[in-house]
Amino acid sequence: MQLTPRHSAILERAKLHGQVMVDDLALEFDVTPQTVRKDLNDLCKARLLRRIHGGALYPSGIENMEYEARRQLCAREKGAIGNAAASIIPDGASLFINIGTTTEAVSQALSEHSRLMVITNNINVANSLRIFPSIEVVIAGGVVRGSDGGIVGEAAVDFIRQFKVDFAIIGASAIDQDGALLDFDYREVKVAQAIMANARHVILVADSSKMERTAPVRIGHLSQIGTFITDFCSEPKLRELCAAHDVKLIETESEKIIV
């Protein structure tokens, strides 16, 4: 679905408060309750919210939202994060790009680079970069996950281990306050761990909403990262971990104030 400005505003409020109610939204946006119900139904149909009596809930952290729905969340922030990550990558570099909507934003920002070698287990990344003659794309073999085009499993892990690259671009579904990087699919995590182990510099790209979620499978720890790029890190503990482990923290919206 194409999000309207009101859809986006409703999602932001739901993310902030955990739920939104029809009467409150009607008053805030100066529209009828019927209009708000239609907005909520549209967002629930796209699996961005979950309908309840009188309103809607923001999806809980233990649920992995559908890929296309996640792609639309925090799109502006992901674009800025992608540009910041691409600015670190020099021409002529070799790199891994893992599964995720934010890692895809990095791949889009790399289109002006030249002489890159990109190894990926993300069909979407491979498809977007294959059209650029100055970028060599190498795609991992393995089981293709139908929900998002990610390639997972032992075959993908074995393939990744053949390389030693300059950079790895990885994402995470959640970042715990203790610095744990988390995801939902253990098969995907195995590939992410192989990617981290076979890169000279690991770049974690994750918008601030990932610090508000949880997931059951551990990828690794923030201390294993070279650079962490986010829109804004509001968690003091994560800031302290970055400083303690010499992780470079880049915030694309650093003008925000911690409350």
Is 65 inside a domain boundary?
no
Proportion of the chain above pLDDT 90, given as a percent:
71
User: Which structural domain, as residue segments, surrounds residue 53?
Assistant: 5-59
Q: Name the DSSP class of 166.
A: E
Quick one: 51 and 118 in the same domain? no
pTM for the complete prediction?
Answer: 0.74
DSSP string, 142-155: SEEPTTT-BEESHH
Quick one: 44 and 156 in the same domain? no
List the strands of the sheet with 19-21, edge to edge.
19-21, 55-57, 50-52
List the strands of the sheet with 217-221, edge to edge.
174-175, 180-183, 217-221
Q: Which residue has the higher pLDDT, 163 or 44?
A: 163
Quick one: 54 and 152 in the same domain? no
Quick one: 20 and 122 in the same domain? no
Contact 251, 232 (CB under 8 A): yes
Quick one: 144 and 44 in the same domain? no
Is 258 inside a domain boundary?
no
DSSP string, 195-208: HHHTEEEEEEE--G
Q: Which of 185, 197, 173 lies closest to 61 in space, CA to CA?
A: 173
For the chain, the 3-state helix, strand and coil shares in percent, each to the nearest 5, are 40, 25, 35
Q: Which residue has the higher pLDDT, 69 or 123?
A: 123
H or E element that contains 177 = none
pLDDT digit string, tens, across residues 165-214: 999 999 999 999 999 999 988 889 999 999 999 999 999 999 998 998 88
Quick one: 195 and 244 in the same domain? yes
Number of domains the chain contains: 2
